[in-house]
Amino acid sequence: MTKSPVYFVARKEGKFEQSFKYKLEKIIGQLGLKEEIREGGRVAVKVHFGQEGNTTFIRPLYVRLLVDQLKKMGAKPFVCDTTGVGFKTTRSNKIDALNLAYMHGFNPLTLSCPVVIADGPVGLSGVEVRVNGLLKKAKVAEDIFYSDYIISLAHFKGHPRTGFGGALKNIGLGAVDKETKARIHLKENPRVKREKCNGCMKCLQMCPVKAISMEEGKARINSEKCAWGCGCWEVCPEAISQWMEMHDTNNNLTVKMIDSFSAVYSAKGKENFSFINILHNITPHCDCSPFSDKPVTADIGIMASKDPLSLDLCSLDIVNAELREKENTNFLQKVFEKDYLREFLAQGKPNPEIIEKYGEEKGIGNKEYELIELQL
């Protein structure tokens, strides 16, 4: 099998012509975006806007520079993310998520294009795609589904459930609706413990899909209607099964993330994707964390490919090589040095080999890659 090219521009800078702008131009030239994106095409730039309290997400300036390049090609870019699972966080609905995005610098004035929460008002606006895997269906966020081209601009970092997060996580978990995110994480939908229900009806009042009803003064969740991820467990921690109680194993989560990615990829067509990983601020945790720990290593650079599997595996390899050389350790060990991440081991230690083997099996990419370093 032919190796997939992965393009790399190192972090080294000594003059203006080596700044991020010129590195990005070099990367875009290798990806062939000008030839692939039609004039007037709606281009979804998928990024993560960061959780409240987090400060190590991708810099909005980097996104703006990509948007400027897309506009020069005659495209109509928009920058997007999706809502988070639950009811109480500042990313749980469109209004709060947009307000947070604006606060973090992702706004139309800064980016010079629309900023969109792609899965709608409460995170349930998506187009269903059937999946042949552990995950049986995925709902692609509506605005992403109806775009003409998708660019994943991902912050490469650690993750306590999958080991790391890059292009595959940015699309597999980030380009789908709230229900799909929850189905990836959980082994079952929320359920009411009837003996503990006091009949207050708070869960019934908050459910956006009207899946909860009262029977003999007790709440009951209709599993057929339930959207899994809307956060009723946050409203009633006493009588509704809790997030960690419902959580699937980390290995199953990883498999379902790949299933979800495959659904988005096949629905839109591989030819309508490009992938860029930013290896700056490489934290041990994901951008969903409400804080930012110090990076595990110095900034490394920008990597890009048409092959998302090769890109993520190459990104992981280059971080591991950096850590081996400097500290005789690896990325996964650095992730679980952190006490606050060890609790996630209750669902099993992440196994990045699942991403490599299952990703190739699902046909989303090639585990064999050729690293091509670009010079400025």
Residues 81 and 198 in one domain: no
Mean pLDDT of 64-91: 96
Q: From CA 76, how far away is CA 81, in angstroms rounded?
A: 17
Mean pLDDT of 209-220: 96
Residues 53 and 65 in one domain: yes
Domain holding 40, by residue range, is: 4-185+249-373
How does residue 19 score in pLDDT terms, banded at 50, 70 and 90? Answer: confident
Q: From CA 201, how far away is CA 285, in angstroms rounded?
A: 36
Determine contact, residues 41/151, Cβ cutoff 8 Å.
Answer: no
Mean pLDDT of 67-86: 97
Mean pLDDT of 362-373: 96
Residues 315 and 172 in one domain: yes
Q: What is the CATH number of the domain that holds 308?
A: 3.40.50.11440
Residues 31 and 119 in one domain: yes
Residues 230 and 367 in one domain: no
Q: Percent of the chain, pLDDT > 70?
A: 100
Mean pLDDT of 363-370: 96
Q: Percent of the chain, pLDDT > 90?
A: 95
Task: For residue 281, give both structure tokens.
Answer: 């601020």
How does residue 1 score in pLDDT terms, banded at 50, 70 and 90? Answer: low
Residues 179 and 210 in one domain: no
Query: What's the pLDDT score for residue 16?
Result: 86
List b or e across 231-262, with b for residues whose CB sees 16 or more CB atoms inside 10 angstroms: bbbbbbeebbbebeebbbebbbbbbbbbbbbb
Q: What is the CATH number of the domain that holds 221?
A: 3.30.70.20
Q: From CA 71, how far away is CA 52, in angstroms rounded?
A: 30
Q: Exposed, middle or buried: residue 134 (CB in 10 Å: 0-12, 13-18, 19+)? A: middle
pTM of model > 0.85: yes
For the four alpha carbons of 87, 46, 78 and 147, in that order, the dihedral sign comes to negative
Per the structure, how many domains does the chain have?
Answer: 2
Query: What's the pLDDT score for residue 14?
Result: 80
Average model confidence (pLDDT) across the chain: 96
Q: From CA 30, how far away is CA 318, in angstroms rounded?
A: 20
Q: From CA 329, how far away is CA 319, in angstroms rounded?
A: 10
Strand 369-373, strand 4-10: pairing: parallel
Query: What's the pLDDT score for residue 18?
Result: 84
Q: From CA 141, how far away is CA 170, in angstroms rounded?
A: 13
The domain boundary residue, chosen from 222, 245, 268:
245
Query: What's the pLDDT score for residue 152?
Result: 98
Whose tokens are 């370093």? That residue is 373
Residues 165 and 93 in one domain: yes
Mean pLDDT of 178-198: 97
pLDDT greater than 80 at residue 208 = yes
Residues 145 and 22 in one domain: yes
Mean pLDDT of 106-131: 97
How does residue 89 score in pLDDT terms, banded at 50, 70 and 90? Answer: confident
Residues 132 and 213 in one domain: no
pLDDT greater than 90 at residue 266 = yes
**Residues 282-303: pLDDT tens digits?**
999 999 999 999 999 999 999 9
**Residues 121-150: pLDDT tens digits?**
999 999 999 999 999 999 999 999 999 999
Residues 75 and 109 in one domain: yes
The domain boundary residue, chosen from 176, 210, 245:
245
Phi, psi of 158 (to 5 degrees): -80, 165
Among the residues of 146-299, which ranges form H helices?
167-172, 178-185, 202-206, 232-235, 243-246, 250-268
